[in-house]
Amino acid sequence: MAGTTGEPNHPTDPFGPSPLQDLMYGHIHGAALRAVAVHRIADHLGDGPRTADDLAARTGTHAPSLRRILRLLAVRGLFHEDDRGAFRLDDSAQALRTDAPGSQLAAVLMITDPMFGRSTDGLAETLRTGEPAFELAYGTSFFEHLLKAPEDRATFDAGMASMSGPVEELVAQSYTFPEGARVIDVGGGRGGLLDAVLTREPTLTGVLFDQPATVAEHLLDRPGLAGRWHTEGGDFFSAVPPGGDFYVLKHILHDWSDEDALRILGTIRRAAAPGSRLLVVDAVLPEGSAPHPAVNVDVVMLLAVRGRERTAAEFSDLLGRAGFRLERILPTPTLPSVLEAVAV
């Protein structure tokens, strides 16, 4: 039977493995990943392999369907099935477990959430108009929606914290702050990066600034940090706390068009004294079309918000127009770089 070995039998056989086949079914793979994440299947695989029947009994799911979904995800390398029909997690998929160090479960639940799924459905319309598919699906902008939808806000904030968690320390260790500096993390989410920065240098103080509902869920209540931080809820298009020696913008500018990014930078520039520093923590795209992991995020930005990933030249231009001079770009061991600019 054609294609049963996974090898094309003929140059025109459409069923052999190919990028086209893979992409055509890509949304099914994402949906299968979401299904096992929603039902916390991986949480039951921390202590060894289990059959689909066993996993289904433990998770209240339908065993024959679970078997088929796990078989699909095994083809993608997420699980491995042994000759007894028991499944185990691939080492790279341990992060699907709730209690794994650096768990990515909340990140998976965010990226595969209908918030993005419904937007993805409208990408062809985005391609025609350039407008974010999210706005066509929801009738409002992404961050306006989050202000009105507490459950989606919680899904997004938890997903961001999960996605950012494993990289905060890697970012923090890539930049040395001077003793006694005051660091203001603008759009700092639940405070993971501020936590890592304050933990590394005990003389620093910090402010976590984000929307009120987000800072209300901050994670900074830790003994080693006591008395060195406070939170402020607000809108970074209106005002940010003054008096920072350092302002940090991590994964903020990529959410916004140049016009809106300039408004955010303008607010910070008004609050920042000349000589104070701005650290933009974002991926830096290479010039041209060289493969880069940030292109996934770039298309999420295209369909959900009006932002995009940028090159070093584009960051330099943007910062210059807002009254900051880009001085250096420090690589980190992970995706984002630290772009250090000074208020002029």
Out of 252, 261, 303, 326, point to the residue binding ligand SAM (CB under 6 A). Answer: 252
Helix crossing, 150-172 with 114-121: angle to 10°?
100
* Distances from the Cα of 253 to the Cα of 66, 130, 322, angstroms: 40, 19, 13
Q: How far is the CB of 239 from ligand SAM (least distance, A)?
A: 10
State which of positions 157-186 bind ligand SAM (CB under 6 A). Answer: 160, 164
Closest distance of CB 87 from ligand SAM, Å: 32
Smallest gap from Cβ 70 to ligand SAM, in A, equals: 31
Nearest one of 297, 256, 304 to 133, comparing CA atoms: 304
Count of residues in contact with ligand SAM, rule CB under 6 A: 16
Q: Which of 214, 231, 267, 276 binds ligand SAM (CB under 6 A)?
A: 214
Site string for ligand SAM, 88-117 (x = CB under 6 A): ------------------------------
Question: Which residue in 169, 255, 282, 309 binds ligand SAM (CB under 6 A)?
Answer: 255
Token pair for 136: 């066509």
Rule CB under 6 A: which of 282-341 touch ligand SAM?
none
| Rounded Cα distance, 211 and 130, in Å | 27
CB 283, CB 299: distance < 8 Å: no
Cβ atoms of 117 and 156 within 8 Å: the answer is: no
Alpha helices, H only, 130-232: 133-138, 142-148, 150-172, 192-200, 212-215
Point out the catalytic residue in the list 39, 145, 218, 254. Answer: 254
Q: Which of 236, 247, 315, 324 binds ligand SAM (CB under 6 A)?
A: 236
Chain position carrying tokens 């995020």:
297
List strand residue ranges (DSSP E) for 155-312, in order.
182-186, 205-210, 229-233, 246-250, 277-282, 284-285, 310-311
Give whichever of 51 and 192 is closer to ligand SAM, judged by the CB atom: 192
Tokens of 252: 């903020």
* DSSP-based three-state secondary structure for 81: strand
Helix (H) or strand (E) holding 327: strand 324-330
Query: Is 39 tagged catalytic?
Result: no
Shortest spacing between CB 280 and ligand SAM, in angstroms:
11
- Considering only residues 131 through 160, tell me which ones interact with ligand SAM, judged by CB under 6 A: 143, 160
Give backbone dihedrals phi and psi of 51, rounded to 5 degrees, phi first.
-75, 165
> DSSP secondary-structure letter at 43?
G
Q: Reduce the DSSP state of residue 280 to 3 states and report it.
A: strand
- Tell me which stretch binds ligand SAM (CB under 6 A): 246-254, 282-290, 302-310, 321-329: 246-254
- Stretch of 14-22, 133-141, 175-183, 234-242 contacting ligand SAM, by CB under 6 A: 234-242
Distance in Å, CB of 52 to ligand SAM, minimum: 35
CB 115 within 8 A of CB 134: yes
Nearest to ligand SAM of 41, 160 (CB atom): 160
Q: Are strands 79-81 and 182-186 parallel, antiparallel or unpaired?
A: unpaired
From candidates 39, 251, 306, 310, binder to ligand SAM by CB under 6 A: 251
Binding of ligand SAM by 195 (CB under 6 A): no
Pick between residue 211 and residue 231 the one whose CB is nearest to ligand SAM.
Answer: 211
- Considering only 54, 121, 235, 317, the residue that binds ligand SAM (CB under 6 A) is 235
The tokens describing 155, both together, are 């899904």
Smallest distance from ligand SAM to CB 236, Å = 4
Q: What residues make contact with ligand SAM under the rule CB under 6 A?
A: 143, 160, 164, 187-189, 210-211, 214, 235-237, 250-252, 255
Catalytic site residues?
254
